[in-house]
Structures are given as C-alpha cells and as structure tokens.
Structure 1
Amino acid sequence: MRDLLSHGLRPLAERRLRHRLAALARPPGGPEDLLGLRVALFGIFSNRMGLGQGAELLARQLTAQGALVDRIDVAGELGLPGNLVRTEVRPVSELRAGGHDLVIVHLNPPEFGQLRTQLAPELFQVPIIGVFLWELDRVPRDWREAIQSCDQVWTPSVFIAEAITATFPDLADRLRVRPYAVDLDPMAQRTMPARLAARTRLGVDPDTFLVLTSFSMKSTLARKNPIAAIEAFRRAFPAEVNATHLIRCLDHAAFPEGLARMQAAASGDARIRVAAIGREESSIEDAYLACDVYLSLHRSEGFGLNLAEALSMGLPVIGTRWSLGDAIADHRLFIPVPSTLVAVVDDQHLYDGVAGARWAEPDIAFAADALSRVAASAHAPDTGPSKS
C-alpha cells in the first residue's frame, strides 16, 4: 500500500524538514475513546491508490465507532492528480482552527512532515495521530521526528508496530494497532452471473481456471514478487491445462524495466496475461469477481489490502505468510506459503536507507502445489481449500 510519491526528499530538504519537525515534538497522549469527537482525517481521497483506500476504510471505521469525521483531501497539496471523485470529501482550504477535537493524518512520515510544516500551525492545536504504513522489519531512521510530533501513531498491523519498536524502542508507548475493517467497504457479491459477466468484460474464457495477481510497480517489483507468481503458475499448470493467470500491473511507468522482466517471464505461454493498467481504470472489482483464486508471493506486506479484500469476497488466497496479520493468515480461505528470510535487495532502491532489513523468499514449489489443490477443489467451493 505504500505506493506514494517518490523515493524521498533531497538530502538538504530532508534535513530541514526533520529539523522543523523536531521542534514540533510533543509527549505521547491523545484520546483512547473517539465517541463524539470531531475528527479531521487527512488523506489522499481523490486519487486511486492504496493509501487512499486505507484512508477511506479508516474513515468508515471511525464513523462506526461514533466519531464525527471530516475527510480532508490532500492529494493536491502533495502534487497528486485527482482521478477519483468522492462527494463527501472537503479541501484543506475549508479547515478552520478550533473546528475539530482531533487531527488524524493517514500518510507516511515524509509526506506527513511536508503537510505538517506546510499548513497553518493553528490547525494542529489539538491531539495529532499519524497513521503510518511500512513493509520491512525495520523502519527508516528518519521517521523519528515525524513519530515524535504525534501524540499517537496508529498502524494497521502488529508487524508494522514491531518494526517501529525495533528501530525506536523509546517511542513504543505512542503506538496503537488498528487493523483496517475491510468489511465496512463491501464489494459486489460473488455469484455465478456476476462471475460470468466480469469475465466477459475482461475478455476471459468462462471455463478457464483463473488465477489473479495484482500490484503497483511503485510498491516495487522485488517486494511484490509477481515473477515468482508466474513461475508458480507455470509449475502448477502444464500447457494443456485450461488455466489463465491475470496479472494486473499498476503504475508500470515507475519501473519500465520491471514490466519488461514480467513480460519476458510470461513469454511463450499465452495463458499468462500481463495487464498494464492505468490509475483511471484501476478498479479491481471485476478481477475479483472473475477469478477463482488470488495469488500473492510477496516478500513483505505492511497490511495486505488486496489479500484482505479477496478473502472478504469469499476467494481462496494463496500468499506468503510472513509479515501478515492474524486476521488474514488465520482466515479459513487463506493458504499460507512458507518462506525463508533473506536480506532486502531492491532494484528500485526504495529501501536502500534501511540497514539490516530482511524480507521473505517464498517457497514457489509449495505455492504451485497449493494452486493445483485449489484448482482440483474448484467445483466444491463450500469446503474451502485445504491448508495442509
């Protein structure tokens, strides 16, 4: 879900930003009960990206808990184009000091810092909560000032909270784990008519066994690891088997070499479809409706929103177990893929500044066998796939 703007600020600008944030440090605190509180929730609401979907899920969760939520879109302030219309969203320009009891910022520290130092200080004279996401077992050292300028920091998984604690043990008392409530934003119901209609729209054979993988190149090719998913598909289904692997690749322009690698991995097998998808057409709902199983051989996940969404729709999910929260990993339809931990190597250099970090190398042979088993049981959906 961490698919935001850039690989960071220039060193001088970053040092200046960290210095300004350090002056805004505050002690841990903030409310534990949100009932009746007026909340300004800053997020990327007008752009189709994982962080935007996470902010919307959080808004619904806060509302369900009795908070009075104003969704404040900051896509423009961060230089992002608007490609999604939400009628209930307000611009930053409408904010007034004293209008809210609590500010929650659903951005990662670099963008949090930009926003915190750009906007009028009067807007932040209430408790501030930062909602931060990350994918490795350590976080960047330059997160300290952003964390210290929040009364609390929320994360959607224990894994992220543990990564922050491992890097900054002295800041652990600010952390709260609040998983996304995916069921508060339900998708279309999976029925046979809906499945067939979605396959028609996607140009997929109504009788094929359809495997779905979806990711953003901004989340890095190495971390999302779709080439391993392609290899698992090839091992699971010999050429004569009527199976299809649909791989949705968003933001391919962020790493053209990565798209070329995927196309090379898929070459020679017309059943493997690498679909380079623009943000304007990025809705995944048809793909969920059409497919028979979701496959994610990621090396690490901060939360795993696509996996959670697929499970919520009743889809079997085969995915790397490491880094996932229990709500996903313990689901009856989830098949956990074992892995070994290795040093992080990322050709897109997003994680170069995180010393000593590790992620998972999933067992492709296990994943291939799991795909075969799910395909064999595809005509008995009530039993669910076996985890053994």
Structure 2
Amino acid sequence: MIPHTDWLKQAPESPADMAFAVPAGIRLLLGIRPDIAHLKTDHLLDRIAVYAWWESDSRQDYAEMEWTLNPADLDTLRGLHADELLAQGGRGFTRMLRGNWPSVLDLVPGFTARTREVVVDESSFTQVLPQPLRLIWADRPDLQASYDIAQESGRIGLLMWWFGFGHKEYVRVAWRVDTSLRQLRPHGPQGAHPLPLFLSLIIQGRDDLRNLYPLDTETGWLAALIWWEQNGFHEFAVPSWSLRNHMELRGQLAEKSAGFDATRHMAPAPCARPLPYLPCLIWGARADLKAAFDLGNAAGCHGLEAWWKANGATEYAAVASLFEDPALQLPGLNIVGYAQSVIGIAEDVRMAARSAQIAGLPYCVIDAPMPGPARLDHTLDAQMVAAPVHPVSLFCLPPTEMIRLGMEGGRSLLTAGTYNIGAWPWELPAWPGYLAGVHQMVDEIWVFSEYVGAAFAGLGDKPVRRMPLAVELPAIAGPDRRALGLPADKFLFLVMFDGNSWLSRKNPVGAVRAFKAAFPSDQKVGMVIKAMGLENNSTGWQAMLDEIASDDRVVVINKTLSRSDVTRLTASCDAYVSLHRSEGFGRIIAEAMLLGVPTVVTDFSGNADFCTADTSYLVSGEQIPLNKGEYLFADGQFWCDPDISQASQQMVRLREDKTERMRLAANARKNITENYSIEAVARAYKARLQQLRQDHRI
C-alpha cells in the first residue's frame, strides 16, 4: 500500500543526476518558510544547507515527510572541504550548532574544526571575530541588522550578545575568554591609569563610550571604572572580568590611593588639608561638588569629607571597594549545591556557609540549577545569587552530580573563570576510570576522609586535600521520648537512614539482625528505625519489614522530621547503630557522637577517621565485591559486610557496661568538638583561601 504522503518524497530531479536532491514536500516548505526561503535548490551548497535545516529539529516538526540520503550524497560531502562549504559565509549551516544531534556536515573534512570552538582574544576586538561567530552572524539577519562586524563597535556588540545570550543558543560551540585580556594596559601620563585590556578595548572600541571616557585623563579613567562597575560588567556577563577579583589591578589602585597627598598632588591647587584619594578624584570630575566645596580652605575640605561620609561612600560603594588594599581583605566564596533541600549533601552546603560566616569570609550561595531533591529548607535564601560573585567556587556536590550540572543547565557555573573546588562526597573505594575526566571541572578536590582521598588520589593532576567536615546541631530542649511516641522504660538502639541512599549500602537489616541476636527476648531493650524517602515496595524495605514483623520491640518512624526533631530523636535514644557497608564520611554517626550518644559502627570507610577503639564499639567484617544493581558503579568495587555476630556482642557490651560506654561517648564527643567543629572548619577554609591568594591563584 502506497502511503498517502508518498508524493512528498518525489523530487523533480533524479537522485542519480543531482546530489542532495530536495524532496517535493521540502521544496514546498522553501516557498513558505521565511527562515529558509533564501536557499536555492539549483546550488549544491544551498541544498546541503536545506538538509542541515531538515536534520535538526525540523524533521520532528514534519514527521510525515522523509528525506534519506543515499551513498552518493554522503560521498559528495566527503569530497568537499570546509573552505568550500563556508565560502558563502556559512548561511544555513549554523543551525546544527544549536544542539548535539548527529550532523552529516561533520563528514566534510575540516568542518568540525572550523565551527566548534571560539576563543575570544584581543584580535576578536581589533581585527576579526572567531569564525564560528562570523558564521552565526552571516546566518542571522537580526544580528546583521544590529551589528556591523566590519567595525570595532559592531564586533564588541556581537561579543556582548554572545556572552549574554548567544552561547546559550549555540550550545555545540565550546568557548572561552583568553586570560590575556585580563592583563593590565597603562593609560595617561607615565601610564598612571591602569585598566584591564578587555576594558580598554571596550571603551576605546565603542562609539558611545570613547568620547565619554577619555582614558588619557584621570577623570575619564575614573568614569570608565565607575561605568564598568555600575553597568558594563552586568552587560557583558563574563564572571572572570570582575574587577573586584582582579588582584593586580586592585593592588595598583590601593598603592595609588595610599601614596596620594592632597596637599601636594591636587590640581589646579593643593588642598588645605589631607584628604583621601577617591573623594578628591570624584570632586574633580563633578561640577556640583566643585561649586559646593572649595578645597583651598579647611571648611571646604571638611564639607567634602562630610558629604563623602553621608552620601558619596554609598553612591560610589562599588568603585570605592576597588581602591581598598586587597592584601587586607579575605577572598570570598561561592557555595554551590542543593542549598534548599533536606538531604545530607544539602547539609554540606549549609555547613560550608556557616563555616565561611564564622571565618569572616564573604560568601554567597547558588542553588544547583537542575532538577533535584525537593526544596524545603529556606535558611539560606537571603544569601542566594544566580551567578558567581567571588573568586572561588566551592561545589558541594558528588562528582556524579557535577557531571549532571555540566549537562543540565549549570555549565556556565563551571566555566565562570573562578577557582573551582570540588567538595566531593563518595562512598566507594575507587572512582570509575571511565569517568576520570571529571577532574577537569575543578582546580582542586576537597575530601572529608582519608578513605575518599584515596579514591580520588590518582584522578589526573588536581591536588586532593583533606578538609574537616563541619558537624553542628540545632539547639534542642533535650531528650523527649513522650513527644516522639517512644517507650520511656526501654534501652533504645537507634538506626537511621534515607531511602535515597541505597539500603544495600546502609544495611539497616543487618542492624536489626544483630539486635535480635543480642537480645532475643529481653523486653527491656528496643530499637527505633528512622527512615525517609523509602519505596515501600522495594526488595530491601520488604526484607526489613519481614525481619521486624514478629518483634514488637522495634518502632518504625517512616516520615520526614524537622532537623530539630531528628536531633531530639537521636538524643532520646541510648545508642546509635550503623552497620553500613561503606560511608564517605558518616555525618549521622558524628552527630550522634556530638550528642554524647555511644555508637556501634562498622570499622570501614570514611567514618574510620573518627571511629576508633577509644570512641566507638567497632565491628569488623569481610570485604566483599559488589553485585550488579547493589549500588551505582558497582563493577570492580568492594565494600565491607559487617559481622552480625560481632555486632551483637558489641551491642550487649555497650548496654551492660555503663562506665565503658560513658567513657567512649565522652572521648567521641571531645574528638568531634575539637576537630570537626564549625570553628575548626572555619579556620581550615580561611587558611586555604589565604594560601590561594598568597600563591596568586585567585
């Protein structure tokens, strides 16, 4: 049976006689679609451009039509060269740069190399734009109408469009801004007025700015700085072009300010008394201030000082900060992660923010711009921003989520020009070799345990640093079993886990089995199982329910509690049990220790840094290989299967010997307080960022 749309495939020309013969249906579209009406079917390159349009999302728009290339068509592409294909200026060929669908254009020798990479350097301003941008411009009448790229001002305008919008449309183009554009260029007498090269090129290349801000004068140079801080930086949207983070420039500005003497250096006449550099500079640029304050007498000087204190310092706050000595200031931190969620890695974000605050580090918070856990916590909303502000970005995300971030809307955070630190939790002894390239996203890696450090140690050439993880709890009134619905007269062991963290790794069923073996019929003991995020039909949870079905001493709390209620629950129990098979750090264990609750834990993985024979009841076990489906990236990995018999013995020992459990709990609490407190982490953050500045890395 002939499809009722078969006529759409018939071309006036025989495919044997013409390469890339255009089907009849698509010929019809050429007559009615304004975006392709300029393409002519009697030119081979135009017919190829029509196919490039078709192979993008257009084939989805016209699903009943078909256009299949034959071997001769493909041979035609292989026989061309990029120079021929792009000779007409690229019209029709840049649509494929908007997505990552396969393109037959890549069969053309040299085409991929000529269209996929943009490096913006000085020549982009002064000579010619990178070829991919020229091709996009040639394919876009709207851009041609807005920007004459034969002129420097037009090239700057197109670059501004690219920085703000274009790169989001043409995602197939890899781009970067050359670091040479941050080098300082002197202006004015004896080069006394420095500006970064990018700002010099923008001011001198734009018709609307060149005459407003003559860079050979001090007032014009100051006006350029003010314009950039108030408008330009936001218009161009290149994070690495922040003057606040340009330490070389700020050092020179601070030196100029410190060396200024208003009683000698002011023109046309010296001031009657010493005044700061910036207010004098602004006075010289504003006729109203000159009319109001005669600096030749003391009253005028006092008047200018009063104006600056009352109004000027606020009005010029952004530029004023550039003249402050950067050596006396702490570098700032952009903290990126699931800032509004209530899972463990979200707590890492909140603890990083608290650490920065305690250290006196300027900081802001960026909620990971991709689908993730429910956004239920709003304690950091006041610190939220959309883009990096400070020179260092701390990514409180597992490396798997970093990869997602780069693919699902957060690539601009990774390429913002900041010094990127990956604060990476991980639960297995090795990172998959086929994902080793993840280290290219960061400049250094922070780990929270020796165990995780070993997993990332061989990952490229990026330094791996062990940093303490802050362990802090909300204030609570104290234990309250009645409010939580717990029995008042039993010795309670607590097990806690998140269903999103893989039951195979958390192994709560092992803790239940150890409890039942330790206390087969003792009604004076009980176990509390706190769970959340469970799939009730999962095999692991069903195994747990089967295990506890006949034991009424086990209480299950399967719901989300507030942070304070979780803390109160832990404090209301007599012991905490974690027979995990692996942990990256073990935050819940550390929090129990901070509360003075004794712990029975697996002697393996990240918690081994703070769980020792002097702080915990340790349980050893056999190292076993992971089975397929037990955890992400299970191939070739191993973890520890804790010995249930030994765990039951430790639980009995804990319950029966009060003196010993109090001693171990006190040791554990002291260790967490001294080495994992918010103050300890704040000191570590501050020291590392100061070192990065001393090493001229930021």
TM-score range, shorter chain: 0.7 to 0.9
Q: Could you tell me which runs of 5 or more consecutive residues in structure 2 were left unpaired when the two chains were aligned.
A: 1-99, 102-170, 177-326, 668-698
- Equivalent position to 2:587, from 305, 321, 330: 305
Matches within 5 A, 1:73-84: 73-74=367-368, 77-84=370-377
52-61 or 254-263: which moved more? 254-263
Kept in 2: contact 1:249–1:277 (CA 8 A): yes
Larger CA deviation: 255-264 vs 129-138: 255-264
Task: Please name the residue that 2:622 is paired with.
Answer: 340
Q: Could you report, residue by residue, the CA deviation over 1:304-343 in whole angstroms, capped at 9, with x for unpaired residues?
A: 0100110111110110011134542137431111111000
Task: Find out whether 1:50 has 2:344 as its counterpart.
Answer: yes
Residue in 2 that maps onto 1:16: none
Within a 5 Å distance, the mapping from 1:1-388 to structure 2 comes to 36-74=330-368, 77-93=370-386, 95=387, 99-116=389-406, 118-119=409-410, 121=412, 124-165=416-457, 169=458, 171=460, 173-182=462-471, 185-188=472-475, 194-195=478-479, 197=480, 199-253=481-535, 256-278=538-560, 283-330=565-612, 332-345=614-627, 347=629, 349-351=630-632, 353-378=633-658, 382-384=662-664
Q: Contact 1:130–1:154 (CA<8 Å) still a contact in 2?
A: yes
Deviation by residue 1:102-150 (Cα, 9 ceiling, x = unmatched): 1111112232133345246376212111111111111123432221121
> Structure 1 vs Structure 2: percent identity of aligned residues?
25
Which moves more between the two structures, 50-59 or 84-93? 84-93
Inter-CA distance 240–335: structure 2 relative to 1 (3 Å threshold): closer
Q: Secondary structure at the match of 2:513?
A: helix
Larger displacement relative to structure 2 (378-387 or 59-68) = 378-387
Are the structure 2 counterparts of residues 128 and 173 from structure 1 closer, same or farther at C-alpha, using a change threshold of 3 Å? closer
TM-score, normalised to structure 1, is 0.80
Local SS of the residue matching 2:592: helix
CA contact (8 A) 1:220 1:346 kept: no
Gaps of 5+ in 1: 1-11, 14-18, 25-32
Structure 2 partner of 1:28: none
User: 1:170 Cα shift?
Assistant: 5.2
What is the CA–CA distance in structure 2 between the aligned matches of 1:21 and 1:179, rounded to whole Å? 39
Residue 209 of structure 1 aligns with an amino acid whose one-letter code is: F
Q: Residues of 2 paired with 1:151 and 1:172: CA distance? A: 9
Give RMSD over aligned pairs: 3.2
Given that 1:106 and 1:132 are in contact with CA atoms closer than 8 Å, whether structure 2 keeps it comes out as yes
Query: What amino acid maps onto 1:350 in structure 2?
Result: Y
Larger Rg: 2
Q: 1:3 maps to which residue?
A: none
Partners of 2:660 and 2:466 in 1: CA distance? 36
Pick the structure with more helix per residue. 2
Measured at CA, do residues 204 and 280 of structure 1 come closer, stay the same or move farther in structure 2, by a change above 3 Å?
Answer: closer
| Higher percent of residues as strand | 1
Contact 2:511 2:577 in 1 (8 A): yes
Structure 1's 156 and 86: CA in aligned 2 closer, same or farther, altered over 3 A?
A: same
Whether the 8 Å contact between 2:597 and 2:665 is mirrored in structure 1 is no
Number of residue equivalences: 347
Tell me the TM-score normalized by structure 2. Answer: 0.46
* Bigger RCO of structures 1 and 2 (CA < 8 A, at least 6 apart): 1
Deviation at 1:21, TM superposition (A): 12
